[in-house]
C-alpha cells in the first residue's frame, strides 16, 4: 500500500499516545486521524473515538466506518489479547487492506509472559538475570533457587499485572512467603506462574526498536525513566514520573553492545520462532558495570519515555510506521534532534495510592518553551480539561543539557494548576555526573 494520505487509528489514552498523536499529526502524509479513546489533549491532534482498545469489534467497526489504513497500538493489553489476529482475519475476509503497528499474540508474549520472555532470552543467548519459573508443582525447587541467590530477591508474576507484579524483597523468609502468596493468586491468574530472578544492580535505561518482521529495524533515541514517587528515587513505584532522552551514559560504545548482543539476537530469535513481529520492542535494560542486560521486554513504547522521545525525532514518523507495518523498513531511517529532552510528569495528590478525579486544570497549557502532553485528563461538559487519572499531564522541554531542559519543564508545570498537583523536581539529577 502506498497511498499519498493515510487514515490512521491510534489506540490508547495516556501521555504516550498524546505524544505519538502530536508527532503523527504533523505528518504531511496524515489523512484522517483518530485516537481511541484518547484524552482531553489528543482531540487537538485528531478525533477522539469513545472506544476501548480491548473491544476488538468496536475497533474493527471504527476501521471500517473511517476507512482506516493504519492502526497503531499504544498499549500492550489489546496486543497480548490478540488484536492483530482479530483485525487481520476480519480485514482479510472483507478484502480490506489494513496495516498495523503492534505484534500479534505470539510476539506480544514477550511482555505478556515473563516466563516466555526469560525462556526466549535463555534460548537465544540474550544477556539477562538468572531465573527459575515456579508453579505450584515445583515450589521446593523455587525455595532451593532462592537459597542459591543473594538478597534482595526478585519475584515476578508471569502475566500482566498492571505494573504491580514485580516484588523486590530483602529477606529470604519473606520471599518464600511471597512466592506462596503469589502462586495462591495474589495477582489473580497473572501469578499462577512466578519467575524468580537474580537481582541486578546498575543504572536502567529504555531502548526502543521499531521492526518490520523481516529483520530490518530502526533504533529510536534511548531514554531513562523515573519510577518512584519521591525525589531521590524514594517511595512507591508509579507508572513513571519523568524521563530524560538521551541518558548520557548510553554512549556509542554501550549502544553498539546493545545492538550486537541484544537487538540482533532478539530479532533473530523472533525469526527463528516464526514470529512476524511488526511494531515496537521496548528493551528495559540495566547497565551492570558497562554491560547491558535485559530486565524486561515490552511490546510498545514506554510512558513517560515516549513524551521525551517523540520530540527528539526530527523527521516524519508516519512513513516509518507505515513501512514497519508493511515489512519494508529497509533503507529507512529517522533523523534526531541533537538537543536533550526532559519530561516531567504532574500527578494527582495521593497517587500512586488513592486519589480524587475531576479536578479542574487551569493555567497555561501551551507554554512557548515546552510541550504539554495530556495523560489522565478528560473534557468536562464545558469542554475544559479535568483530571481523570493518577498521572495527569507532562511537560517536555529541550535543552543543551539535562539541567537546562529540566528547569524549563519545571517552569512550565509551575504555570499549570489543579488541586493536589505534585511533580518531582529531580528528574535527571542522577545523570549529571555522566554529562
Ligand atoms: P519489570 O516489570 O520486569 O520491568 O520490573 C519492574 C522494575 O523492577 C524494573 O524496572 C526494575 O527497576 C526492577 N527489576 C526488575 N527485575 C529486576 C532484577 N532482576 N534486578 C533488579 N531490579 C529488577
Ligand atoms: N516507563 C516504563 C513503561 O512504560 O513500562
Q: Tens digit of pLDDT per residue, the chain (435 long)?
A: 578 999 999 999 999 999 999 999 999 999 999 999 999 999 999 999 999 999 999 999 999 999 999 999 999 999 999 999 999 999 999 999 999 999 999 999 999 999 999 999 999 999 999 999 999 999 999 999 999 999 999 999 999 988 789 999 999 999 999 999 999 999 999 999 999 999 999 999 999 999 999 999 999 999 999 999 999 999 998 999 999 999 999 999 999 999 999 999 999 999 999 999 999 999 999 999 999 999 999 999 999 999 999 999 999 999 999 999 999 999 999 999 999 999 999 999 999 999 999 999 999 999 999 999 999 999 999 999 999 999 999 999 999 999 999 999 999 999 999 999 999 999 999 999 999
What separation in Å is there between the alpha carbon of 107 and the centre of ligand 1?
Answer: 21
Residues 6+ apart with CB under 8 A from 273: 106, 120
What separation in Å is there between the alpha carbon of 166 and the centre of ligand 2?
Answer: 13
- Checking 375-379 for CB contacts under 8 A at 24+ apart, the result is 375/14, 375/15, 375/18, 375/39, 375/303, 375/304, 375/345, 376/14, 376/39, 376/348, 377/39, 377/40, 377/41, 378/39, 378/40, 379/40, 379/43
Cβ atoms of residues 30 and 315 within 8 Å: no
> Of the ligands numbered here, which is closest to the C-alpha atom of 295?
1
What separation in Å is there between the alpha carbon of 17 and the centre of ligand 2?
Answer: 13
What separation in Å is there between the alpha carbon of 224 and the centre of ligand 2?
Answer: 10
pLDDT at site 87: 98
Q: Quick one: cell of 56?
A: 476488538
Residue 259 is classified by DSSP as I
3-class DSSP state for residue 395? strand
What separation in Å is there between the alpha carbon of 227 and the centre of ligand 2?
Answer: 8
The protein residue whose alpha carbon is closest to atom 4 in ligand 2 is: 302
The pairing of strands 70-73 and 6-12 is: parallel
> Of the ligands numbered here, which is closest to the C-alpha atom of 394?
2
SS (H, E, C) 300-339: CCCCCHHHHHHHHECCCCHHHHHHHHCCCCCCCCCCECCC
DSSP letters for 176-211: HHHHHHIIIIITGGGGSSEEEE----SEEEEEEEEE
pLDDT at site 3: 87
pLDDT at site 164: 82
The finding on whether 158 has its CB within 6 A of some atom of ligand 2 is no
The finding on whether 129 has its CB within 6 A of some atom of ligand 1 is yes
Best residue for ligand 2 mutational test, from 225, 301, 344, 391 (most atoms within 8 Å of Cβ): 225
Q: Is the pTM of this model over 0.75?
A: yes
Sheet of strand 203-212: strand arrangement: 217-219, 203-212, 278-288, 291-298
The finding on whether 111 has its CB within 6 A of some atom of ligand 2 is no
How many other β-carbons are positioned within 10 Å of the β-carbon of residue 291?
A: 12
Provide φ and ψ at 294, rounded to 5°: -90, 125
3-class DSSP state for residue 141? helix
Nearest to 390 by CA among 238, 165, 243: 238
Rounded CA-CA distance 205/262 in Å is 14
The finding on whether 39 has its CB within 6 A of some atom of ligand 2 is no
pLDDT at site 301: 98
Nearest to 257 by CA among 231, 224, 294: 294
Q: What angle do CA 97, 99, 105 make, to 5 degrees?
A: 120
- How many Cα neighbours within 13 Å face the side chain of 303? 25
What separation in Å is there between the alpha carbon of 336 and the centre of ligand 2?
Answer: 21
What separation in Å is there between the alpha carbon of 352 and the centre of ligand 2?
Answer: 15
> Of the ligands numbered here, which is closest to the C-alpha atom of 225?
2
Cβ atoms of residues 273 and 106 within 8 Å: yes
Rg (CA), the chain: 21
What separation in Å is there between the alpha carbon of 295 and the centre of ligand 1?
Answer: 6
The protein residue whose alpha carbon is closest to atom 8 in ligand 1 is: 166
Rounded CA-CA distance 236/222 in Å is 25
Beta bridge mates, 417: 362
- How many Cα neighbours within 13 Å face the side chain of 75? 23
Rounded CA-CA distance 8/100 in Å is 10
What separation in Å is there between the alpha carbon of 73 and the centre of ligand 2?
Answer: 15
The finding on whether 197 has its CB within 6 A of some atom of ligand 2 is no
What separation in Å is there between the alpha carbon of 154 and the centre of ligand 1?
Answer: 8
The finding on whether 200 has its CB within 6 A of some atom of ligand 1 is yes
The finding on whether 154 has its CB within 6 A of some atom of ligand 1 is yes
Rounded CA-CA distance 124/119 in Å is 9
- How many Cα neighbours within 13 Å face the side chain of 301? 30
> Of the ligands numbered here, which is closest to the C-alpha atom of 223?
2
The finding on whether 225 has its CB within 6 A of some atom of ligand 2 is yes
Amino acid at each position: 500500500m502506498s497511498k499519498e494520505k493515510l487514515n490512521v487509528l491510534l489506540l490508547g489514552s495516556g501521555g504516550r499516545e498524546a505524544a505519538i498523536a502530536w508527532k503523527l499529526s504533523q505528518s504531511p502524509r496524515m489523512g484522517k486521524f483518530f485516537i481511541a479513546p484518547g484524552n482531553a489533549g489528543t482531540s487537538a491532534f485528531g478525533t477522539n473515538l469513545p472506544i476501548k482498545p480491548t473491544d476488538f469489534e468496536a475497533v474493527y467497526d471504527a476501521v471500517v466506518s473511517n476507512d482506516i489504513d493504519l492502526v497503531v497500538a499504544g498499549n500492550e493489553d489489546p496486543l497480548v489479547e490478540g488484536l492483530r489476529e482479530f483485525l487481520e482475519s476480519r480485514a482479510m475476509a472483507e478484502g480490506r487492506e489494513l496495516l498495523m503497528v503492534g505484534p500479534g499474540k505470539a510476539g506480544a508474549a514477550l511482555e505478556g509472559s515473563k516466563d516466555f520472555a526469560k525462556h526466549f532470552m535463555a534460548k537465544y543467548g540474550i544477556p539477562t538475570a538468572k531465573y527459575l519459573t515456579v508453579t505450584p508443582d515445583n515450589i521446593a525447587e523455587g525455595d532451593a533457587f532462592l537459597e542459591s541467590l543473594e538478597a534482595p530477591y526478585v519475584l515476578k508474576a508471569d502475566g500482566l499485572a498492571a505494573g504491580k507484579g514485580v516484588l523486590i524483597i530483602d529477606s529470604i523468609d519473606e520471599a518464600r512467603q511471597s512466592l506462596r502468596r503469589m502462586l495462591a493468586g495474589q495477582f489473580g491468574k497473572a501469578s499462577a506462574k512466578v519467575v524468580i530472578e537474580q537481582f541486578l544492580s546498575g543504572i536502567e535505561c529504555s531502548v526502543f526498536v521499531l521492526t518490520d518482521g523481516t529483520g530490518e529495524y530502526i533504533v529510536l533515541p534511548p531514554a531513562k525513566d523515573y519510577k518512584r514517587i519521591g525525589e531521590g528515587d524514594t517511595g512507591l513505584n508509579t507508572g513513571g514520573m519523568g524521563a530524560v532522552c538521551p541518558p548520557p551514559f548510553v554512549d556509542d560504545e554501550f549502544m553498539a553492545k546493545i545492538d550486537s548482543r541484544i537487538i540482533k539476537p532478539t530479532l533473530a530469535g523472533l525469526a527463528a520462532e516464526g514470529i512476524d513481529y511488526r511494531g515496537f520492542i521496548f528493551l528495559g535494560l540495566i547497565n551492570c558495570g558497562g554491560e547491558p542486560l535485559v530486565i524486561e521486554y515490552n511490546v510498545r513504547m514506554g510512558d513517560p519515555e515516549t513524551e521525551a522521545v517523540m520530540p527528539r525525532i526530527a523527521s516524519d514518523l508516519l512513513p516509518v510506521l507505515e513501512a514497519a507495518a508493511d515489512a519494508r523498513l529497509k533503507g529507512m531511517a529517522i533523523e534526531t534532534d541533537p538537543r536533550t529532552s526532559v519530561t516531567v510528569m504532574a500527578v494527582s495528590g495521593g497517587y500512586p495510592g488513592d486519589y480524587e478525579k475531576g479536578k479542574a486544570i487551569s493555567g497555561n497549557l501551551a507554554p512557548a518553551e515546552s510541550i504539554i502532553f495530556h495523560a489522565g485528563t478528560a473534557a468536562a461538559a464545558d469542554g475544559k480539561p479535568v483530571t481523570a487519572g493518577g498521572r495527569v499531564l507532562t511537560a517536555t522541554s529541550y535543552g543543551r543539557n539535562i539541567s537546562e531542559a529540566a528547569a524549563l519543564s519545571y517552569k512550565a508545570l509551575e504555570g499549570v494548576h489543579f488541586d493536589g498537583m505534585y511533580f518531582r523536581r529531580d528528574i535527571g539529577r542522577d545523570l549529571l555526573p555522566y554529562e
